[in-house]
């Protein structure tokens, strides 16, 4: 799996949800410039925002963590478990269509 940076992950999820930066910022109760800085890589996403994203957007933080994972991070996950995870997350993503 290729590494997807946090800011690209946030931008991709925002796009999937059809939200502008301002709309996402309002949902997460932050300033729009905060979202812009994260998406441009100028600011790192604080870890506590994973839980905020999960709560406010109903997106499991595990999905964000998985999207950010590198191959070496996943070396202990069996192929069967990886397929199960992929199926679960694909179902979650399809529910937003």
Question: Quick one: pLDDT at residue 27?
Answer: 94
pTM: 0.68
Q: What span, in angstroms and rounded, lies between the C-alpha atoms of 41 and 7? A: 6
**Mean pLDDT of all residues in 4-30:** 84
**Mean pLDDT of all residues in 15-29:** 92
Q: Could you report the per-residue pLDDT of 39-89, keeping only the tens digit for each?
A: 888 888 788 888 898 899 888 887 777 777 777 777 777 777 877 777 777
Phi, psi of 85 (to 5 degrees): -60, -45
First and final C-alpha spacing in the chain: 23
Exposed, middle or buried by CB within 10 Å (0-12, 13-18, 19+), for 61? middle
Task: Spell out the domains of the chain, with CATH numbers in brackets.
Answer: 6-94 (1.10.260.40)
* 44, two tokens: 């790192």
């Amino acid at each position: 799996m290729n590494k997807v940076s946090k800011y690209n992950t946030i931008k991709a999820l925002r796009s999937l949800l059809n939200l502008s930066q301002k709309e996402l910022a309002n949902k997460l109760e932050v300033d729009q410039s905060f979202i812009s800085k994260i998406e441009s890589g100028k600011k790192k996403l604080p870890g506590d925002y994973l839980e905020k994203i999960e709560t406010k957007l109903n997106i499991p933080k595990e999905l964000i963590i998985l999207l950010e994972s590198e191959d070496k991070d996943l070396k202990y996950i069996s192929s069967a478990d990886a397929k199960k995870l992929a199926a679960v997350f694909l179902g979650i993503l399809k529910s937003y269509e």
